[in-house]
């Protein structure tokens, strides 16, 4: 079999032309994983092909895919990259897995991530970091770093990830693939191990925009097991990808290019690794250059570019890092060492089982966030921290609502920098949080966002992602602009 970077369409065509069978394409990927996963650590576990009869009418018939290890696949281990779930066996299929199975997809395995999806580099995994396929000394981004690396290295045709504050879009940007976070409520979260329930959303990481639209067609829809899913009609997201985008209004928030850095707003100031490299604070020059030239490209395609303002943008990160730990402290209270997961053998009383199992099972970041959340929700501090953040969240959503009265989509960077070195930022939690500055506002407002590769940075030579943000439940326009931009960038 040839060395091809297969897309979903390639697999469909290959099967139709009988260039390969379902078994052959699956074993092609298994062999690649056997060969390359040792150096990348993208997969935590792999599966054998489940015997099914593939019907060529199914839209994902025999398409081999990878699943982030916080999504349940019945009868298989699901760790969320945490020691506390090291031996946990899923008791049912997540709704998205059921849907992929009905569409004919086959599952190669489960991918590495930051523990419980808390992180931006996949360094927080209890099972070792994933490496960026473009440079093995660098991180793939996170938290869906294993999924992004697997797609970038062609160890899967597509992958599922989850995005709470950028965890699909940022690793997609770092690894040079497409990553789509759908509107909150578009895709069921049933069977996704919860981090921050008001923000979490499952979405695809793919090799191109067309594939992202194809996978969203399968994932989208109301689910009786997730009452936050919307009862809305689902368009065929691939149908109008080529429809003209001339005259479409594209908003560029001015705040995106004067992004405040965490380092400058805390005391005492401490020089970050990026400052030492002389790249200054906030948005790096190479990312800014690529993003600006991509905006010109959109103008060339006939879009009308308008400067807009998101006045409360600078407060989004602080808001996010109050709401997320609060929801985490509630969601992760289920890990008690009693019903499932790791249990401390040394405990002599019930109360010790809780304290010791959680101490042994959780890594540093979950502990940090659980405690931060417990504090923010505690008596006397609830109003000052949690409630305050929820009020600012409304201001941030209002900013987007006003902006979308004037423009059809909003664009900007995905992340301030390209992929950083493994270990470079892991000692400073706040420096890592800063990675999310352009992606968290989108989750706070519940909007759809996509990261599309827009070339490599001139200094690092590494992939840069271009972020597009759509109106609530208007993935159709978002994907259409993304698709035509992708085609336009190919020609240059």
Residues 54-93 contacting other proteins, CB under 8 A = 88-89, 91-92
- For other proteins, give the closer residue by CB, 53 or 427: 427
Residue 93 Cβ, how far from other proteins at the closest point, in Å? 11
Q: How far is CA 218 from the centre of its chain?
A: 18
- For other proteins, give the closer residue by CB, 153 or 168: 168
Give the C-alpha separation, 181 to 202, whole Å: 7
- For other proteins, give the closer residue by CB, 131 or 393: 393
Phi and psi of 69, rounded to 5°? Answer: -80, 25
- Residues 6 or more apart from 188 whose CB is under 8 A from it? 94, 95, 96, 202, 219, 221, 222, 223, 225, 226, 229
| Residues of this chain, 365-424, that bind other proteins according to CB under 8 A | 367-368, 370-372, 374-375, 378, 380-381, 383-385, 387-395, 397
| Residues of this chain, 263-292, that bind other proteins according to CB under 8 A | 265-267
Q: Which of 124, 170, 272, 312 binds other proteins (CB under 8 A)?
A: 312
- Residues 6 or more apart from 4 whose CB is under 8 A from it? 10
- Written as six digits, the tokens of 115 are 């523990």
| Residues of this chain, 112-131, that bind other proteins according to CB under 8 A | none
Residue 214 Cβ, how far from other proteins at the closest point, in Å? 25
Q: Per-residue string for binding with other proteins, 172-191, x by CB under 8 A?
A: ------------xx------
The reply to whether omega before 143 is within 30° of 0 (cis) is yes
Strand 304-308 versus strand 249-253 pairing type: parallel
- Written as six digits, the tokens of 94 are 């997540």
Q: Which of 430, 459, 474, 488 binds other proteins (CB under 8 A)?
A: 430
- For other proteins, give the closer residue by CB, 53 or 348: 348
Closest CA to 67 of 182, 157, 138, 140: 157
- For other proteins, give the closer residue by CB, 3 or 383: 383
Q: Per-residue string for binding with other proteins, 184-223, x by CB under 8 A?
A: xx------------x-------------------------
| Residues of this chain, 218-257, that bind other proteins according to CB under 8 A | 224-225, 227-228, 230
Burial of 344 (0-12, 13-18, 19+ CB in 10 A): middle
Q: Which of 86, 318, 474, 487 binds other proteins (CB under 8 A)?
A: 318
- For other proteins, give the closer residue by CB, 271 or 278: 271
- For other proteins, give the closer residue by CB, 143 or 329: 329
Residue 286 Cβ, how far from other proteins at the closest point, in Å? 26
> CA dist 93 to 101, 110, 331, Å?
10, 13, 20
Residue 244 Cβ, how far from other proteins at the closest point, in Å? 31
Give the C-alpha separation, 327 to 344, whole Å: 25
Closest CA to 160 of 206, 117, 108: 206
| Residues of this chain, 431-470, that bind other proteins according to CB under 8 A | 433, 445-446
- For other proteins, give the closer residue by CB, 147 or 188: 188
Binding of other proteins by 301 (CB under 8 A): no
| Residues of this chain, 13-52, that bind other proteins according to CB under 8 A | none
- Written as six digits, the tokens of 470 are 């759509």
Residue 103 Cβ, how far from other proteins at the closest point, in Å? 20
- For other proteins, give the closer residue by CB, 49 or 318: 318
Strand 409-413 versus strand 158-162 pairing type: unpaired
Q: Which stretch binds other proteins (CB under 8 A): 21-29, 106-114, 127-135, 319-327?
A: 319-327
Binding of other proteins by 4 (CB under 8 A): no
First to last CA, the chain: 31
Catalytic positions are 68, 143, 167
- Written as six digits, the tokens of 343 are 């249990």
Residue 228 Cβ, how far from other proteins at the closest point, in Å? 5
Q: How many chain residues touch other proteins (CB under 8 A)?
A: 74
| Residues of this chain, 325-354, that bind other proteins according to CB under 8 A | 329, 333, 336-343, 347-350, 352-354
Residue 42 Cβ, how far from other proteins at the closest point, in Å? 27
- For other proteins, give the closer residue by CB, 52 or 390: 390
Q: Which of 124, 188, 206, 319 binds other proteins (CB under 8 A)?
A: 319
Residue 120 Cβ, how far from other proteins at the closest point, in Å? 15
Burial of 410 (0-12, 13-18, 19+ CB in 10 A): buried
Binding of other proteins by 1 (CB under 8 A): no
Q: Which of 69, 123, 356, 424 binds other proteins (CB under 8 A)?
A: 356
Residue 448 Cβ, how far from other proteins at the closest point, in Å? 12
Residue 324 Cβ, how far from other proteins at the closest point, in Å? 11
């Amino acid at each position: 079999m040839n060395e091809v970077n297969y897309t979903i369409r390639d697999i469909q065509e290959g099967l139709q032309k009988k260039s390969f069978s379902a078994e052959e394409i699956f074993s092609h990927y298994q062999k690649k994983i056997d060969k390359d996963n040792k150096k990348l650590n993208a997969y935590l576990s792999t599966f054998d092909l489940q015997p099914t009869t593939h019907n060529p009418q199914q839209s994902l018939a025999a398409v081999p895919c990878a699943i982030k290890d916080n999504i349940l696949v019945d009868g298989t281990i699901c760790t969320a990259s945490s020691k506390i779930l090291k031996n946990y066996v899923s008791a049912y299929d997540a709704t998205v897995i059921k849907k992929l199975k009905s569409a004919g997809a086959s599952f190669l395995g489960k991918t590495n991530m930051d523990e419980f999806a808390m992180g931006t580099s996949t360094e927080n995994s209890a099972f070792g970091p994933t490496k960026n396929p473009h440079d093995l000394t660098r991180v793939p981004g996170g938290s869906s770093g294993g999924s992004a690396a697997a797609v970038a290295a062609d160890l899967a045709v597509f992958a599922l990830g989850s995005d709470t504050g950028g965890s699909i879009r940022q690793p997609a940007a770092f690894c040079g693939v497409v990553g789509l976070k759908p509107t909150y409520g578009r895709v069921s979260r049933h069977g996704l191990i919860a981090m921050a329930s008001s923000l979490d959303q499952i979405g695809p990481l793919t090799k191109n925009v067309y594939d992202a639209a194809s996978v969203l067609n399968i994932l989208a829809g109301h689910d009786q097991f997730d009452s936050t899913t919307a009862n809305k009609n689902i368009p065929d997201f691939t149908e109008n990808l080529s429809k003209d985008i001339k005259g479409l209004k594209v908003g560029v928030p001015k705040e995106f290019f004067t992004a405040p850095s965490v380092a400058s707003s805390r005391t005492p100031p401490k020089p970050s690794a990026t400052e030492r490299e002389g790249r200054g604070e906030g948005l790096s020059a190479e990312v800014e250059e690529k993003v600006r030239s991509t905006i010109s490209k959109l103008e060339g395609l006939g879009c009308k570019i308008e400067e807009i303002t998101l006045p409360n943008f600078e407060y989004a990160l602080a808001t996010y890092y109050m709401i997320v730990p609060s929801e985490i402290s509630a969601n992760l209270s289920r890990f008690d060492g009693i019903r499932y997961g790791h249990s401390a053998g040394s405990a002599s009383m019930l109360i010790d089982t809780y304290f010791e199992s959680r101490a042994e099972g959780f890594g540093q970041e979950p502990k940090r966030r659980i405690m931060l959340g417990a504090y923010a929700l505690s008596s006397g501090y609830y109003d000052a921290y949690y409630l305050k953040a929820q009020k600012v969240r409304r201001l941030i959503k209002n900013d987007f609502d006003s902006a979308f009265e004037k423009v059809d989509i909003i664009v900007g960077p995905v992340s301030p920098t390209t992929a950083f070195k493994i270990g470079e930022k892991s000692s400073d939690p706040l420096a890592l949080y800063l990675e999310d500055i352009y992606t968290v506002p989108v989750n706070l407002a519940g909007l759809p966002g996509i990261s599309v590769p827009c070339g490599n940075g001139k200094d690092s030579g590494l992939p840069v992602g271009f972020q597009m943000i759509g109106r609530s439940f208007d993935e159709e326009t978002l994907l259409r602009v993304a698709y035509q931009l992708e085609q336009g960038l190919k020609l240059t």
